Amino acid sequence: MLESRLLEAHLAHCAECRSFAEQVTGIAAELRAAAVEHSSRRVVLPAAPARRSAPARVRSVASVAAVAAMALGIAMRAPLGDPERPSGPPAAAPAEVDDAELHAIRLLRREAMLAGLARSERASGTFGNQPA
């Protein structure tokens, strides 16, 4: 796999990442070798998953919408071949493709803004670069 080869190449010349990788490998090996222990405390899991915070939900909805918009844009630019019309015109007019791309860009910008907002909320006390 390309990713693992890139990682190996990086680890070959980056001492910092190599030491981190060795650390993580060591911890994982320790955990695998450790005997199973029973907790003295009773653990009760909630019946329903905990509700996510409103910003997290907005972000995930925005991500899904952005991916859907991009997929739509790609599909419109390179439509699947129609076997009955092999040399037919593209399904979408250029203006429509541009609209879909603009929409995807707007969604991505919105998502980036929301992510930035969430970051500045987490860093309470500091106002970052957001106007007061």
**By the criterion CB under 5 A, which residues form the site for Zn ion?**
14, 17
**Which of 14/29 has CB closer to Zn ion?**
14
Judged by beta carbon, residue 10 or residue 109, the one nearer Zn ion is 10
Question: Nearest approach, Cβ of 35 to Zn ion (angstroms)?
Answer: 34
For the bound state, the minimum distance from the C-beta of residue 16 to Zn ion, rounded and expressed in Å, comes to 5
End-to-end CA distance of the chain: 48
3-state helix, strand, coil in the chain (%, to 5): 65, 0, 35
CA distance 21 to 10: 11
CA triple 49-63-96, angle to 5 deg: 145
Q: Which residues contact 60 (CB under 8 A, 6 or more apart)?
A: 52
**Closer of 8 and 37 to Zn ion (Cβ):** 8
Q: Name which of 16 and 30 has its Cβ closer to Zn ion.
A: 16
